[in-house]
Structure 1
Amino acid sequence: MQKYEIFINPKLLNKLDKDIWTNEHVPAVLKIGSNQYSIGLVYRGNVIRKKRKKSYHIIFEKPYTVNGAHEIHLNAEFNDCSLSRNKLSLDFFDRIGVISPHSNHVLLYINGFCKGIYLELESFDQFLLQKRNLPLGSIIYATNYHANFSLLNPEKQLKTKLVEGYTIKYGDKKDLSHLENFIIITNTLSNEEFEQQIPQVLDIQKYLTWLAGVVCTQNFDGFIHNYALYQNSETGTYEITPWDYDGTWGRDLHGKPLDYDYIPITGYNTLTGRLLHSPDFKEKYRDILSTILDKDFTVETQLGAIDDLFQGVKPYLHLDPYIKINAKNLGREKEFILNFIQKRNTFLKQELIKLS
């Protein structure tokens, strides 16, 4: 496991601790092997900022990019007793053909003190697009639960702005206008008009593949949060990518067990509801999900990935001062995840029959 060392003025670290909600980066140095980089450092996330083991957002300042990235995320994975659900999920999406941030576990030290095992994640931004040889295009983050593709917020009140819940990561204000148009198409057209026009603004195949991924991994927040929209400048259509998938594979975001049948096969947001109302789109979704359930979301397929992840973190568990996980705990969690996959797979195959 790669060792990451951060060196920071204790006064600046104190400053972050006094205001955990600040988004203002403070200067620090990151050492990886024999290489040193000037960085900006700040805490990231929402619930995790209140925990003892916090997550970090890092921007590279000198040099401006490292390995093709300008920024990275170091996730604490504090509520995940396997430390691996996020990576397992993102790798799963990558496997089924959905754009997904790459990730790897690292051992983090700050000013010489071990802070434990972290998951380094790519930032979903223009630099990721360049690394993947994808056309540049606007990237918009779904930053809260109002990002539900609806005219109404989750409290069933009319939104004051159609793009509530969204934040531009790469692009400008006109890109929000395009998103507004997308939401209007989703909510105001007749069924026939919607079926004709939606393929012009949304990559249907990739959206339904993403939907199948969220449904399989059972991310409760994934339908109205924990995603980003990327508008491919060559096709003009939106694609969607997952983000923050630690509350998956049988547990919620707090690490508590979630029944295998908790999330319906159709998910829940306005866009999905409209798509699955169309017999053609519904049949396409059935085909996509059926293939994934046969080839990708199976105990046999995921067993190797789980073993690799657990074997990777196991030798370093004792170095993490914030967790109480040992090899026996990991063994139990492996069986928990495999049991979830088996039950969820069976449940979804049964639901596929009803979906026809």
Structure 2
Amino acid sequence: MIKYEILINPKWLRKLEYDLWDDDLVPAVLKIGNNRYKISLSYRGNVIRDKKKRSYRVVFEKPFTKNGAHELHLNAEFSDISLCRNKLSLDFFDRIGVISPHSRHILLYVNGYCKGIYLEIESLDQYLLKKRNLPDGAIIYATNNRANFSLITKKNEPKKRLDQGYTLKYGNKEDMEHLRSFIAMINVLKNEDFKREIVNILDVDKYLRWLCGVVCTQNYDGFIHNYALYKNGETNLYEISPWDYDGTWGRNLHGRLLDYDYVPVTGYNTLTGRILHFPEFKSKYKEILSTILDNDFTVEVQAPIINELFEKLKPYISLDPYIESDEATLDEEKSVFFEFIRNRNAYLNSELSILI
């Protein structure tokens, strides 16, 4: 496992600690092997900031990029006993044809103190598009649970703005205007008009693949949060990508066990509901999901991937001062993964009959 060491002036470290919710970046140095990078640093995430092991946002200053990336995330994965659910999810989305950030585990030190195992994750931004040879286009993050494609919030309160819950990562004001128009269209067009227009605004096939990924991994928040919209500059269609998927594969974001049938096969949010209203879209979703259940979301396929991830972590698990996991814990946790995949697969297959 590669070692990352952050070197930071104690006064800037105190600034980070003084206000955990401050997103202002502070200067630091990142050392990887014999290479040193001047960086800017801040804490990141929501729930994790209150934990003793926190996640970081790293922005490269000099040089401006590393391996084509200007920014990366170091996720603590504190509430995931396996430290693997996020990576396994992102890799799963990639496998089924959804644009997804790449990730790898690293061992992090700060000013000489071991902070444990972290998950390095690509930032979903214009640099990722360039690395993947994808067309340039706006990227908008769904940063809280108001990003539900609806006119009302999760608490059934009218939204003050149609773009509530969203943050522009890359693009301009016009891109947010397009998003507001998209959300309005989702909610006000009559069925026949929606069916005609949606294919001119959204890549429906890729959206259905994303929906399959959320439904299989059972990310409860994934329908109204934990995603990014990318407007492909060539097709001029929205595509959708996952991020922050630690509350998956049988546990929620707090690490508690979750029943395998907690999330329905149809998922939930306003856009999904409208798309699946139409038999041809529902039939396409059924076809894609059935293929994934047969070829990707099985114990036979995922077990070797999970085993390999766990074996890579085992030599370093005792170095993490913030978690109680050990090699035996990881071995025991495999049963949670395997039982979830087996039961979730059977449940979703049994529910395919309603997708007609």
- TM-score when scaled to structure 2? 0.99
Q: Quote how far apart the aligned CAs of 1:251 are.
A: 0.2
For 2:267, the equivalent position in structure 1 comes to: 267
Amino acid at match of 1:282: K
For 1:215, the equivalent position in structure 2 comes to: 215
For 1:176, the equivalent position in structure 2 comes to: 176
Amino acid at match of 1:49: R
Q: Quote how far apart the aligned CAs of 1:353 are.
A: 1.2
For 1:340, the equivalent position in structure 2 comes to: 340
Structure 1 residue 110 and structure 2 residue 135: aligned? no
Q: Quote how far apart the aligned CAs of 1:47 are.
A: 0.8
Please give the alpha-carbon distance, in whole angstroms, between the structure 1 residues aligned to 2:11 and 2:151: 46
Amino acid at match of 2:268: Y
SS of residue in 2 equivalent to 1:332: helix
For 2:88, the equivalent position in structure 1 comes to: 88
Structure 1 residue 127 and structure 2 residue 127: aligned? yes
For 1:250, the equivalent position in structure 2 comes to: 250
Q: Quote how far apart the aligned CAs of 1:159 are.
A: 1.1
Amino acid at match of 1:346: A
Please give the alpha-carbon distance, in whole angstroms, between the structure 2 residues aligned to 1:256 and 1:280: 37
Structure 1 regions of 5+ residues with no counterpart?
none
Amino acid at match of 1:118: Y
SS of residue in 2 equivalent to 1:265: coil
For 2:298, the equivalent position in structure 1 comes to: 298
Amino acid at match of 2:186: T
Amino acid at match of 1:139: I
Amino acid at match of 1:130: K
Output aligned runs, 1:20-39, within 5 Å. 20-39=20-39
Structure 1 residue 350 and structure 2 residue 350: aligned? yes
CA RMSD, aligned part only? Answer: 0.6
For 2:149, the equivalent position in structure 1 comes to: 149
Which stretch of the first structure deviates more once superposed, 188-197 or 201-210?
188-197
Q: Quote how far apart the aligned CAs of 1:190 are.
A: 1.1
Instruction: Spell out, residue by residue over 1:310-329, the C-alpha distance to the aligned partner (whole angstroms, 9 max, x if none).
Output: 01111001100001111111
For 1:75, the equivalent position in structure 2 comes to: 75
Amino acid at match of 2:259: D
Q: Quote how far apart the aligned CAs of 1:354 are.
A: 2.3
Please give the alpha-carbon distance, in whole angstroms, between the structure 1 residues aligned to 2:25 and 2:236: 34
Please give the alpha-carbon distance, in whole angstroms, between the structure 1 residues aligned to 2:222 and 2:66: 30
Please give the alpha-carbon distance, in whole angstroms, between the structure 2 residues aligned to 1:20 and 1:238: 34
SS of residue in 2 equivalent to 1:11: helix
For 1:287, the equivalent position in structure 2 comes to: 287
Structure 1 residue 58 and structure 2 residue 58: aligned? yes
Output aligned runs, 1:170-249, within 5 Å. 170-249=170-249
SS of residue in 2 equivalent to 1:307: helix
Q: Quote how far apart the aligned CAs of 1:291 are.
A: 0.4
For 2:312, the equivalent position in structure 1 comes to: 312
Please give the alpha-carbon distance, in whole angstroms, between the structure 2 residues aligned to 1:247 and 1:157: 26
Output aligned runs, 1:6-45, within 5 Å. 6-45=6-45
Please give the alpha-carbon distance, in whole angstroms, between the structure 1 residues aligned to 2:157 and 2:60: 41
Amino acid at match of 2:318: H
- TM-score when scaled to structure 1? 0.99
SS of residue in 2 equivalent to 1:236: coil
Q: Quote how far apart the aligned CAs of 1:106 are.
A: 0.1
Q: Quote how far apart the aligned CAs of 1:185 are.
A: 1.6
Please give the alpha-carbon distance, in whole angstroms, between the structure 1 residues aligned to 2:84 and 2:68: 24
- Determine what percentage of the aligned residue pairs are the same residue: 65
SS of residue in 1 equivalent to 2:307: helix
Please give the alpha-carbon distance, in whole angstroms, between the structure 2 residues aligned to 1:151 and 1:256: 31
For 2:140, the equivalent position in structure 1 comes to: 140
Q: Quote how far apart the aligned CAs of 1:189 are.
A: 1.0
Please give the alpha-carbon distance, in whole angstroms, between the structure 1 residues aligned to 2:181 and 2:26: 38
Instruction: Spell out, residue by residue over 1:54-94, the C-alpha distance to the aligned partner (whole angstroms, 9 max, x if none).
Output: 00000000011110000000000000000000000000000
Please give the alpha-carbon distance, in whole angstroms, between the structure 2 residues aligned to 1:189 and 1:286: 25
- Count of matched residue pairs: 356
SS of residue in 2 equivalent to 1:222: helix
Amino acid at match of 2:2: Q
Instruction: Spell out, residue by residue over 1:257-316, the C-alpha distance to the aligned partner (whole angstroms, 9 max, x if none).
Output: 000000000111000000000011000000010000000000001011101110111100
Structure 2 regions of 5+ residues with no counterpart?
none
Amino acid at match of 1:181: S
Which stretch of the first structure deviates more once superposed, 299-308 or 180-189?
180-189
